Amino acid sequence: MDGVLHDDLLHPELFRGAGTRGADRAFQRADQQLTEAPHHRVAGSARILLIGHVTRDIIRVPGRRDREQPGGSVYYAGMALCGLGHQVTILTRIASRDEALLLADLRRAGARVENLPSARTACFVNAQGPGGIDDRVQEMRAEADPFGAALLQAVQGLSCDAVYFGSLLAGDLDAALILRIAECFPRAIKLFDAQGPLRVRHDTHVMPCVWPDAGQVLSVCDIVKADQEESLRLTGARTAAAAAARLADLGVAQVLITRGGQGALLRSGGRSRRLAAWRPRSGVCAIVDTTGCGDTFLAAYLHAVLNGRPPQAAAQFAAIAATMKLTRFGPLCCGENDIVAFAAQP
């Protein structure tokens, strides 16, 4: 045995006719063992600061025309959090000429977006392969300028309940800058997506790399997300469960390791749980666009935590939101009731 608890995600029948309150009760019943609550509950709308590059993305899906749209971790997470009713502030770097095109969605959704202008806008091509959710090839056509001292000036005077670090490449946000930002918000939940510091651009290719400052940075974070491959490279572990335990040993309260179509692994309160990928009752889910699913997952997880759900229930809600994102192009920007209704569909 691997010492990991195994759980299926909540069956949609639990949501049928329940409404948001009924879904909340179902989520609470789902996990009686994980009672950790490292941060205060924020009822309703929370103030959330997201830091990272908005990108120009080209989405390539077999049998369809290429589609160009905004992208980047903070774009997908920011849109999801706006839809869920939070007060979102985004600090990003794109070329000034691209502001009207790439930041309009976020601003229409209600986000306050401040651009610290870059000479270039980061541009990715995300090509979906025939193998479905776990088959994707990515290339990078342009790289934006990294964040610097101007970021520290931009956060002055801000207050927030959570800070979401969504870098895309190593060097986007150096360790010293992240630590300074964390010090500015001592009471806020700090979330970190480990994807960015573990990869570099070489020509048009996105290549894996070593992250020497991982321990220093992650030790000040409360919630960390990585996919399975990233978690193994990050920790040197042989299994996702061992990787999650090593990250928790750094002081991370809640570790999320996403595994694509295989679901996710949650480490919290000294225990690990494997969670199956959520699927509708029919078992059939039309995959339209996988880009941004991990960002949507982390945003929905944060929303659930801020509203008082325990970690496993938060992960279950996040998995449903990520599956809903799979079924459409672009970001998921909808309310909690819409996600509950999606879960209740036959």
Q: CB neighbours of 152 closer than 8 A, spacing ≥ 6?
A: 177, 180, 181, 184
- Strand 55-60 to 67-71 pairing: antiparallel
The overall average pLDDT reported for the chain is 86
Q: Which residue has the tokens 């090509």?
A: 127
Structure tokens at 346: 């036959």
Give me the half-sphere count of Cα atoms (radius 13 Å) on the Cβ side of residue 332: 33
Q: CB neighbours of 203 closer than 8 A, spacing ≥ 6?
A: none
| Interaxial angle between packed helices 311-326 and 73-83, expressed in degrees from 0 to 180 and rounded to the nearest 10 | 110
CATH of 5-33+44-343, one of 3.40.1190.20, 3.90.76.10, 3.40.640.10, 3.30.430.20: 3.40.1190.20
Contact criterion met (CB below 8 Å) for 108 and 83: no
The domain spans of the chain are 5-33+44-343
Per-residue pLDDT for 166 more than 70? yes
In the chain the first and final C-alpha atoms are separated, in Å, by 35
Q: How far apart are CA 88 and CA 92, in angstroms?
A: 13
List pLDDT tens digits, range 48-90.
999 999 999 998 877 788 888 999 999 999 999 999 999 999 9
Three-state SS at 67 = strand
List pLDDT tens digits, range 203-217.
988 999 999 999 999
Note the pTM of the prediction, 2 decimals.
Answer: 0.86
**What is the rounded average pLDDT of the residues 268-293?**
83
List the one residue out of 205, 201, 247, 242 whose CA is nearest residue 224.
247
List the one residue out of 183, 170, 133, 139 whose CA is nearest residue 53.
170
pLDDT number for residue 39: 46
